[in-house]
Amino acid sequence: MKKYQYNTPIVLLLLMLSASCFGKPPPTDGVDAYSHHAQIKVDGAGPFFHFPLTMEVYRSSLSPVMRDLRVFNSAGEVVPHALTLKTDIPQPKVVQTELRAFPLYSDEKSENGGFQIRREKNGTLVSVEPTKATVTRELTGVILDASHIVAPLVALDISLKEYGQPFQRFRIEASNDLKEWHGVQDSASIAVLEQEGARIEQRQIELPSIRAKYLRLTWLDPRFISGLPSVTATSSSTPQQTQPEILWTEAISPSRSANGEFVYRLDGMLPVERLRFILPQINTLAPAQLYARSNDKQPWRRVSNTVLYRLAAQGGESLSPDIDLGGELITELQLKLDMRAGGVGDKPPQVKVAVEPQQLVFLARGDSPFMLAWGLAGVNTSALPLATLVPAYRYQNGLPGSLASLGTDGKNPAPVHVGSNADNEPMDQALMHKWILWGVLVAGAVLLLLMAMKLIRTGESIKS
């Protein structure tokens, strides 16, 4: 009898542990199960709406591929949605065209800029000649003929036979009649840098998608003009509704730095399109190598060799161009400076990160308000392919439905707190609870087996 009394506490403990296994797990559906939610503002009956994801969604989503996103109607029901891929959006038709350049000369005495213009009936420039009153013939700029290009101009590639200095700065203006000009960029620049046999060229100037028959380039410092430039224009035609605005983070300071090496920790795993480094001091130039990785368990991989600069110039500053990364998923950046150039001063460089947001398309089933919820890990994606959500969808026609907008993030009062596993995918609280329960069950089964074996040995000893 004493033997059974000795095991009674163990039996009671096992019963308590077994009962705890049937406890109710935390909720895994509904808006309240997600740590973030925001109202979707719609106008009209739909049935389809689309809106770009915000930077807050990218920062606080627990999945780098947005698998934790859900759209709910007012009844708390999940409604179908799709996330656009680059293959779902009409790709721009990009055409490069060489532009004919006509010289402009300085002339303080003559009117109309000191030149006479001859054009054909279709607008094509034939000649730009100095007037008789022109005294000096100092080249100050060029007029570019883009009258034969229909699509918007998005970039210029400018090449010179000789470069009088590493940086050439221009004022760019546009016109459709050669009489009225409006500013496009007050201080655009190109750069050609050489060091120990290496050569870096930045000859492209981005334009804000303009339509113009003619462009006027005026050197801010004409002393360094070495002849007419060779100019190629890039034009691009894409439906406007498929061009979401690029999202930029605030300036990020390095989390650690030493001997010209700087590590930047991004706020979440972001699909980085571009990087913009901000140098603290003017007249700074630093060759650098840039590395990136998706999580701290991966090795660094080099993504760019570049030269960062911030130099004083007539009318402003010359800044190094943005670094294009093409949407790589990144959590950390590492910048290694070539210290032979002297570094960047006492303060470290900062970086801004640009993200091209995906568009979320959803079917407005049920009543509004509709809510976007995110922030629950361990869940599979519920997003459909866009062609499945909208069977008649054709990417040439742009995104389906009306444009909606996403409100501010309303965090739940008791968000789901998670850790992270080796794949950088956080483990959901409900999943963790399930593993704990399985562990308790296995431990209980082992204890029961040991008790049974002990009872058998006790019974055999009593018989003997």
Domain ranges of the chain: 31-88+361-406, 93-237, 247-355
pLDDT tens profile 244-294: 678 899 999 998 888 888 999 998 888 899 999 999 988 888 889 999 998
| Cα→Cα distances 277→195, 211, 272, 423, Å | 21, 30, 14, 29
Higher local confidence (pLDDT), 266 or 194: 266
Distance of CA 160 to the CA centre of its chain: 33
What token pair was written down for 166?
Answer: 């590493």
**pLDDT higher for 417 or 127?**
127
Q: If you average pLDDT over residues 427-442, what whole number do you get?
A: 58
Residue 311 has pLDDT above 90, yes or no: no
Q: What is the pLDDT of residue 351?
A: 94
316 pLDDT band, cuts 50/70/90, is confident
Topology match between the domains 93-237 and 247-355: yes
pTM of the model: 0.65
DSSP 194-229: EETTEEEEE-EEEEEEE--SEEEEEESSGGG--SPP
Which range among 203-207, 229-233, 244-248, 293-297 shows the weakest confidence by mean pLDDT? 244-248
Residue 94: beta bridge partners? 236
Is 272 in contact with 371 (CB distance < 8 Å)? no
| pLDDT tens readout for residues 4-44 | 444 555 544 444 544 444 444 444 567 888 989 899 998 88
- Which fold would CATH assign to domain 93-237? Jelly Rolls (2.60.120)
Which CATH code for domain 247-355? 2.60.120.260
Percentage of the chain modeled with pLDDT above 90: 20
Lowest-confidence segment of 9-18, 27-36, 129-138, 172-181 by average pLDDT: 9-18
> What pLDDT, on a 0 to 100 scale, did the predictor assign at position 91?
63
pLDDT class of 71 with cuts at 50, 70, 90: very high
Higher pLDDT pick, 39 / 339: 39
- Judged against a pLDDT cut of 70, whether residue 107 lies above it is answered with no
Give residue for tokens 């708390």: 76
H or E, element range at 456: helix 429-463
For the ranges 17-21, 103-107, 186-190, the one whose mean pLDDT is highest:
186-190
DSSP state string for 258-286? ETTEEEEEEEEEEEEEEEEEE-SSSSEEE
Q: Which two tokens stand for residue 90?
A: 């009409």
Burial of 199 (0-12, 13-18, 19+ CB in 10 A): exposed
Percent of residues, the chain, with pLDDT higher than 70:
73
